[in-house]
Amino acid sequence: MKKLLVSLSAVLLFALTGCGADKATEELDKNDKNKAEAKVEDEANKAEDKSADTSTEDKKAEDVWTYYDNAKWSDNFNGLKLDVEKVVVSDIAPTMEDENAKASAVGVKFKMENTTEGKFTIYPDQAVLVTSTGEQIDMPDMWVSDSIGGEIDKGVIKEGNIIWYLERGHAADITWIKMSFNGRVGAEDQFDGESKDFEFEIKLK
């Protein structure tokens, strides 16, 4: 009887030990699996970050514009603040007619702010452009330029890009540009307000 009890105890102990070992193995497997999944996720995140960096580099490489951040101009017309914040040029700018076609162009980042209680009417997005390379473009390209002209009510800020396509090219050779346009005090249907002819030259290099 003693031998039988000893044998049963041994079997039970072995079984319990086996169960404990199985449970420990399961925990190890579970931990290894979690670590493996975490490693895969970490590598995926690193790959995504690298892809984002590459995308940023590609975007920079694809930028067709040369920036003149110091090419600025500003004026204050009876409380209407006007600013040229930068000028850009390109000899490989895309066109609306053909995505594969490249053209020479000049762009201006323009901003206006009405700091008064009244209204103004002004059209810098219809400005005449003159370049140091001997070109005069009487109208920006309305399809690619931002529509920022017209009536500007009190407290309103308008800003956007104005683009002119050159007829003879060689935008990279431009050393200065000149812009001219007209503005007046009052709403669009008021023609008796004070008016001003804006004409200014901006040096690029």
Inform me whether the pLDDT recorded for 11 exceeds 60. Answer: no
Mean pLDDT confidence for 130-149: 97
Structure confidence at residue 6 (pLDDT): 44
> For 73, what's the count of Cα atoms within 13 Å in the CB-facing half-sphere?
19
Inform me whether the pLDDT recorded for 29 exceeds 80. Answer: no
Torsional class of 117: left (φ above 0), alpha (ψ -120 to 50), beta (otherwise): alpha
The band of 101, judged by pLDDT with boundaries at 50, 70 and 90, is: confident
What does pTM read for this prediction?
A: 0.70
